[in-house]
Amino acid sequence: MSEHAEAAPSSMQRPAGFARRAVGGLGAVALDLGQTGRELWSVLLQTLYYCFRGKREPGAVSYYMYEIGNRSLFFITVVMGFIGMISIYQAGLQALRILPDLHLMGATYISLLIRDSAPTIGAMMLATRVGAGIAAEIGSMVVTEQVDALRMCAADPIDYLVKPRFIASIVMSTALLIWSAFVAFVTAYGWFGVTFESFMNLSLVRWEDLGTGLCKCITYGAAIPIVAGHAGLSTFGGSEGVGWATTRSVVNCCLAVITLDLILSASSFLLFG
Amino acid sequence: MLRSGPLNTGALMALSTAATPKPRRKVKPPPSSRRFVESKGALHTAGAAVLDIAATAGGMGLLLGRITARTVTLKIDRDELFRNMYRMGMRSVPIVVITALFVGAIAVIQAAPFVQRVGAYGLLGWGAGFVVLNELGPLLVALMINGRVGANNTAELGTMVVTEQVDALRVLAIDPISFLVAPRFIGIVVTLFVSTVFTDLLALIGSAVAGHLLLGVTPTMFYRGVTGGVLNEWDVLSGIIKSVIFGGIIGLSSCQFGLAVTGGAPGVGKAVNATVVASAAGMFVADYFVSFAM
């Protein structure tokens, strides 16, 4: 027993080589990722459970729909408007380098917009705005012990805090991302003298593309509150902890969007071609 | 005691309601305060928002002027600068690597249907390369750095303001701008610049791998598409210039929002939220004007 107690510090004091440190660092990252993934999975399962079996708080979902949806409308509209103008301008300039023929530009742009760019870039924006907001709110509640008070009142924080945001976010993210596609379409029209008939060309849009886009909207809308809620609920410490939780929420939400985009885009390409 | 002091209607009302038995219905607020609440119409909100934005923009301008003055006269704490650069840069490496590889792969997956339809496999390097180097790479890495470094910076500065550490610095005759703000600002700009250069390389690797796996475009063919002559140096350079501008926007807004925190832990959370949103919107607007100017 005493030998073990003495052996532990001596092995700790041994100077670690570069290889050992590198492997140790990688292992720590892998363990951390695994732990976070498991916790996220558990939050998702609990949220889904409470969606069907939880208590209903009247007005909560519509309140969060207003907070997540209407409050982000201005931000999303401005950003997606600029995105539409930037992408059509750059695409047009690049296309003109190869061949001076822009009659397929509208069709290509709309297809890309529906399949990927509107849902994903819009969701990155929502991840920043909504993800930071959810984590800051829940994190402040954790730090000021309001979440403990909820537990004392036999209200599960996931049922009371995460579930209404989850439902509200799925509905409003889908609506906002469809709106963002519309905004990016409107601001992209009128560049390089392309006529409306030529720009409004839906020949390259298939039903599969529309399905992929909608699937992305719903997936992102579900992922953002789960990741942000997890970051908020695992807050510790004072005001510094709230800041950390918000930071982690934004980064994890953006990473979640990019990862889901890769997975969904790749599977859609492999399935539908 | 109460009567001899100055007339305190709020305390008197509280006293009188405490003395009377508990009313069944909710007590209506006095008419004067209700009228004040009602007068906060759409115009009031819009005006308050405009004033708020103007105050923030003015604060950012002043802050930029002060940072520039300290930088030009070299009044920057060198140890803090290197410490911040190390902290911001090294800790962002994992997310930058993941983002870059994924962005490259996503660009290829999105270009794949068009490439297959036209059969222009040799142009994949050009298409994916342009999107990644000029637009998507700088923008998405800036968004990630905005979340990782910008938000963290606001949280740190905000916590320091809330716990009065910035005032303590002033008491010790240490200039908060040259000790806290300027090193962070320069650190963010340098971090984003270096991250973007890394991203350019890593995203091209990601694109090449995805193109090889999904479309059967060999890396050599991809490399020839990138360097084939359609894509010029200016496309790469403009992406890197954009990254410096984005870094400036993130640094300024995160420092400004961090220094303007009021109201404890919830205030820090709100400030972090505000800075992330403001930098993201600012980056897209700046991207538009920079794309046009170049």
Task: Please tell me if residue A35 touches chain B, with a CB cutoff of 8 Å.
Answer: no
What is the pLDDT at residue A13?
A: 53
What is the pLDDT at residue B17?
A: 44
What is the pLDDT at residue A15?
A: 58
Q: Is residue B28 a part of any domain in this protein? A: no
What is the pLDDT at residue B8?
A: 44
Q: Rg of chain A over CA atoms, in angstroms?
A: 23
pLDDT interval class at A29 (50, 70, 90): confident
Contact by Cβ (8 Å): B162, B261 = yes
Pairs of residues, one from chain A and one from chain B, whose beta carbons lie less than 8 Å apart: 163
pLDDT at A228 over 90: yes
pTM recorded for the entire structure: 0.82
**Total structural domains within chain B:** 1
Q: Is residue B213 a part of any domain in this protein? A: yes
Task: Please tell me if residue A144 touches chain B, with a CB cutoff of 8 Å.
Answer: yes
What is the pLDDT at residue A86?
A: 87
Task: Please tell me if residue A125 touches chain B, with a CB cutoff of 8 Å.
Answer: yes
Q: Rg of chain B over CA atoms, in angstroms?
A: 27
What is the pLDDT at residue A169?
A: 93
Cross-chain residue pair B154–A243, CB shorter than 8 Å: yes
Q: How many CA atoms lie within 13 A of A83 on its CB side?
A: 28
* Residue-range definition of the domain harbouring residue B279: 57-293
**Distance separating alpha carbons of residues B212 and B199, to the nearest angstrom:** 19
pLDDT interval class at A10 (50, 70, 90): very low
Provide the b/e sequence for B37-74 (b: ≥16 CB within 10 Å). eeeeeeeeeeeeeeeeeeebeebbeebbebbeebeeee
**Distance separating alpha carbons of residues B81 and B191, to the nearest angstrom:** 12
Q: Is residue B22 a part of any domain in this protein? A: no
ipTM rounded to 2 decimals: 0.81
What is the pLDDT at residue A105?
A: 79
Reported for A155-158, long-range contacts at CB under 8 A and 24+ positions apart, including other chains, are A155/A55, A156/A46, A156/A50, A156/A54, A157/A233, A158/A43, A158/A46, A158/A47, A158/A50, A158/A229, A158/A233
What is the pLDDT at residue A123?
A: 92
Cross-chain residue pair B151–A247, CB shorter than 8 Å: yes
**Distance separating alpha carbons of residues A35 and A192, to the nearest angstrom:** 51
Read off the pLDDT of residues A43-86 as tens digits, 9 standing for 90 and up: 999 999 998 887 788 888 899 999 888 888 988 999 999 988 88
* Segments of chain B with pLDDT less than 70: 1-40, 229
Question: Which residues of A fall within a CB distance of 8 Å from B110?
Answer: 112, 115-117, 265
Q: Is residue B285 a part of any domain in this protein? A: yes
pLDDT interval class at A5 (50, 70, 90): very low
Q: Is residue B134 a part of any domain in this protein? A: yes
Cross-chain residue pair A98–B123, CB shorter than 8 Å: yes
Distance in Å, alpha carbon of A15 to nearest chain B alpha carbon:
22
Read off the pLDDT of residues A168-222 as tens digits, 9 standing for 90 and up: 999 999 999 999 999 998 888 877 777 777 777 777 788 888 899 999 999 999 9
Cross-chain residue pair B146–A79, CB shorter than 8 Å: no
Q: How many C-beta neighbours within 10 Å does residue A90 have?
A: 16
CB < 8 Å from B in window 46-75 of A: 75
Task: Please tell me if residue B265 touches chain A, with a CB cutoff of 8 Å.
Answer: yes
Q: Is residue B44 a part of any domain in this protein? A: no
**Distance separating alpha carbons of residues B258 and B150, to the nearest angstrom:** 10
Cross-chain residue pair B151–A250, CB shorter than 8 Å: yes
Cross-chain residue pair A242–B268, CB shorter than 8 Å: yes
Please state, for a pLDDT cut of 70, what percent of chain A lies above it: 94
* Best mutation target, B159, B236, B254, to test chain A (most A CBs within 10 A): B159
* Closest residue to A247, CB basis, from B127, B147, B214: B147
What is the pLDDT at residue B28?
A: 54
Q: Is residue B135 a part of any domain in this protein? A: yes
Contact by Cβ (8 Å): A80, A122 = yes
More confident residue, A240 or B198: B198
Average pLDDT along chain A: 85
Q: Is residue B14 a part of any domain in this protein? A: no
A265 CB contacts (<8 Å, ≥6 apart)? A115, A116, A212, B106, B109, B110
| CA–centroid distance for A98 within its chain | 36
In 3-state terms, what secondary structure has residue A33? helix
